Amino acid sequence: MRGVLLNAVVFSLCSPISLAQAAKGSYLVEHVKAVNGKYVTRTVTYEPRAGDLLFFDEYKPHWNFLYKLVGSDGPHHSALIYRKSNGEFGTAEAGPNDTLHCRVLDLLPRLQGFDGTLHIRRVKTPISKEREEALATWAEAQAGKRYALGRLALQLTPIRCRGPVRRDIFGQTYTDRNSYMCAELAMAGGTIAGLFDPIKTPGNAIYPRDIVYNDKYDLSVTHHEVQLWTAYPLR
């Protein structure tokens, strides 16, 4: 994962300040060109927006193996960020932490409590208040639904929507299923928010890696490039 791994390597070379110097927060790592022409790495406070895409990677061997087996790669989990009715932000996820249900979780504790690497694709333009409210209502309604374990198993067979022919025939984003896989749920929420075309970005054919970059599905109109998230600012 070229860009993601590069971000992780650069971040590891720029030590965050000590825990005694700063409490946990929420930041994104940026690589910007300075006046001298050289690139510098810095952190900026992460200000979430409804519709941001969130990517998780714990580098677990079994997920590495399974994703490579189906022709993909990490990250191994994804979620969609939404604004709750109380103004706080949360995540809508299918199967967080390898569980078997869809859940909505408070954003900041979710970010700070994850033991792995996190990346975020931010929405370029805020969605309307009406779209935010529709997304929040939809997200809360998904809580408690099942993770699509049966369809996950089908990813290892020809009976899946992943291939070019089956994707063209059966590829679709469903916003009211009884069960979801993680990227499928994120794309469904993004469709409710008016960010994605349910035909051009078929949720049932998408893995997290497919929406990290723009080489498979170009999300550059609605989302910025992926950025590394960190709980601590760099020095």
Average pLDDT over residues 9-25: 54
pLDDT for 207-234, tens place per residue?
A: 999 999 999 999 999 999 999 999 999 8
Neighbour count for residue 235 (Cβ, 10 Å): 11
Strand partners, 130: none
Decide if pLDDT at 13 tops 50.
no
pLDDT for 160-174, tens place per residue?
A: 877 776 777 777 999
pLDDT for 176-203, tens place per residue?
A: 999 999 999 999 999 999 999 998 999 9
Domain map (residue ranges) of the chain: 48-228
Nearest to 183 by CA among 90, 101, 78, 102: 78
User: Helices (H) and strands (E) in the chain — how many of each?
Assistant: 7, 10
Fold of 48-228: endopeptidase fold (from Nostoc punctiforme) (3.90.1720)
